Structure 1
Amino acid sequence: MIDKAADDHMSEKSIQLRSQSEAQALFGPQDDYLRRLRQLTDVQIVLRGNVVVLSGEKDRVNQCEDLLQSWRTILNKNQELLDSDVTKSLDSNPDHDEHDKDYLEQDMLNDTDRAEERSSVEVSTRTREIRAAQAGRDKVSAVRAKTPGQASYMEAMSEKSLVFCDGPAGCGKTYLAVATALQALRDEEVRKIVLVRPAVEAGEKLGFLPGDMFAKVNPFVRPLLDAMNDMLDFDQVRRYMANDVIEIAPLAFMRGRTLNDTFMILDEGQNTTITQMKMFLTRMGVNSRIVVTGDATQNDLPKGTVSGLQDGIRRLSGIDGVEIVRLTGQDIVRHRLVRQIVSAYEADDSDT
């Protein structure tokens, strides 16, 4: 912690946080906790990376620091910061002495008190998930591999610049790629995420789609958005997209671009042609990473067209920095029937 006193009355302090996730939890939904803290203390609070900088009158800065540190203690112990915790701390006397402050902190941390608070209302599992998201908790850092194949896939994405993943429906190809991209963004390994999908219809013609570009491509990138919305609060996803931190683009719009410090995900890669795959892969700029996912058994290209996914795997498998991951039916983590459905179709295909 750094204390830089400008004079006898003004002060600036810095608090080093563990991660962006901790900052989001401390600041609350739509930065609500942060606004309330500013209103109470009249201190300027700025987040620079993972560092919270407090500036203002010395006594006020100290008061603000004490409150933030007490919130961090609660968050570290309970893995969440509830609105009731924040309200209790802000409603307390800001001029309390050290004894009162310690008493307040212990009171807020009291497990029995918190248990009684939770038991006062019957809360469903879904409601708890919503409350956790609103308190800044999300699923990004909690995503874990559930099979050995998924573990190999996540390891490859963290270590290699280009990863191809071929596997059946339901094995987590898209979900884990999105989780890895979001974690890389949180860790400031990249500055931007680009989600790309070829606009190929699955065996039926949708015809003219109304709306702007996003509305037209939305049906095709819906699985990527579903994965992201499952991990993050909706408002946070909207802010990321509004600030161009997360971009959704049709594959055709990638031509001519060079993307630096970007995590790119190409979903449904089996529906790209060889030319399209080459075009996409060569968008990689400095400090960028690419993950290409697809299922070779669900090719929707015109008959006789070679899939860019299969061709790319064949051509690039021996290059340093490129990893090929093949998931199987054993990696399927959707409904228990999905694995049996996939196996039944694979068995039928092998017989014919």
Structure 2
Amino acid sequence: MNAATLTEASIEFPDNRLLIELCGEFDRNLTDIESRLGVQILRRGNYLSVHGEPAAQTEAIEVLRSLYNRLEQGRPVGHGDIDREFRMGTEGGSPADQLEMFGGGKVEIKTRKKLIEPRTEAQKAYVRSLYENELAFGIGPAGTGKTYLAVAVGVNLFITGAVDKIILSRPAVEAGERLGFLPGDMKEKIDPYMQPLYDALNDFLPGKQLARMMEEKTVEIAPLAFMRGRTLSNAFVVLDEAQNATSMQMKMFLTRLGEGSRMVITGDRSQIDLPRGVQSGLKDAERLLTGIPKISFNYFTAKDVVRHPLVAAIIEAYDRDSPQPG
């Protein structure tokens, strides 16, 4: 970096308490921005001084202003919020983004424990489609928020009274161990397959409330096979890991949709665990249902991974080695 191109610019933040929150514990938020842009940020009283190349300096100031505006609105600032600013631009938190979508909702998801906001453009489009369509598909690699956002929307619709229950399901595909040889009763055998769904619910609902809802059957978590013969009315229904549903199972599940319900199907076509020669129901559904009104298909790529940055790099490496069709 040429020292001659480095400049300094300062920005004032009138509320010192909010400035402390902006900097984060041990200035970790500033460190995050510095590492992304190659700038240095110093605090001087109520000012932050940004040192670096002009383009990076300008971007840093825009991000700092946007995050400070978040704090003024009473919203927290953490690593995920900084990540969203860089992925989506500072307009991501502007009033224009808070458009009415469904029943007065916004491009944000309010749950009992936290406020969830999309961190990529693909996630934002996906959340919109979950509110706007009775049947929505989210297809892409692990770590892109497909199931997490779907469960968050389900919790939001439940606490606002739009649905009466939440039903979460997964195919219990055996991966190396046969269920019959695992210890415990049927619930104990199945629960490990369902754990990611429990984890998501625990992120959005207080433990006692979730336990009560599960006892009252307003929240159900069950293997896909348990859906046969049911009609799911006034419910928000999620089928996770749908790439491991057979074509027959997918048809069975989709035809459970009842009055007043919404259904979300999530899956990753690169992680099919079905026996060789068995067609994935997710692929069949894509082929047969694309273009039908009120059914949406949303796709994610490695660029939408919101886990550790290495996860995106790993997915891209595997995609380069063995690209998936379609």
Q: When the two structures are superposed, what TM-score results if normalisation uses the length of structure 1?
A: 0.59
How far off its partner does 1:269 sit?
Answer: 0.1
Distance 1:226 1:138 in 2: 13
Letter in 1 for 2:158: L
Q: Residue in 2 aligned with 1:149?
A: 122
Structure 1 residue 165 corresponds to structure 2 residue 138: yes
Structure 1 residue 296 corresponds to structure 2 residue 269: yes
Query: When the two structures are aligned, how many residues end up with a matched partner?
Result: 218
Q: Residue in 1 aligned with 2:202?
A: 229
Q: Spell out, residue by residue over 1:305-352, the C-alpha distance to the aligned partner (whole angstroms, 9 max, x if none).
A: 11000100110111111001111111100011100010111111149x
Q: Residue in 2 aligned with 1:268?
A: 241
Trace 1:13-162 onto structure 2 (pairs within 5 A): 138-139=113-114, 142-162=115-135
Are the counterparts in 2 of residues 274 and 308 from structure 1 also a CA contact under 8 Å? yes
Q: When the two structures are superposed, what TM-score results if normalisation uses the length of structure 2?
A: 0.64
Are the counterparts in 2 of residues 164 and 293 from structure 1 also a CA contact under 8 Å? yes
Distance 2:185 2:229 in 1: 22
How far off its partner does 1:224 sit?
Answer: 0.8
Tell me: CA distance 1:207–1:271, structure 2 relative to 1, closer, same or farther (3 Å).
Answer: same
Distance 2:220 2:185 in 1: 15
Q: Percent identity?
A: 51
Q: Residue in 2 aligned with 1:4?
A: none
Q: Residue in 2 aligned with 1:51?
A: none
Distance 2:241 2:317 in 1: 22
Q: Residue in 1 aligned with 2:287?
A: 314
Q: Spell out, residue by residue over 1:62-93, the C-alpha distance to the aligned partner (whole angstroms, 9 max, x if none).
A: xxxxxxxxxxxxxxx989xxxxxxxxxxxxxx
Give unpaired runs (5+ residues) of structure 1. 1-76, 80-135
Structure 1 residue 186 corresponds to structure 2 residue 186: no
Distance 1:329 1:288 in 2: 31
What is the SS of the residue equivalent to 2:318? helix
Give unpaired runs (5+ residues) of structure 2. 1-72, 76-110
* Shift >6 Å, 4+ stretches: none
Letter in 2 for 1:262: A
Which of 301, 320, 325 lines up with 1:347 in the alignment? Answer: 320
How far off its partner does 1:183 sit?
Answer: 0.3
Distance 1:209 1:260 in 2: 34
Distance 1:350 1:270 in 2: 17
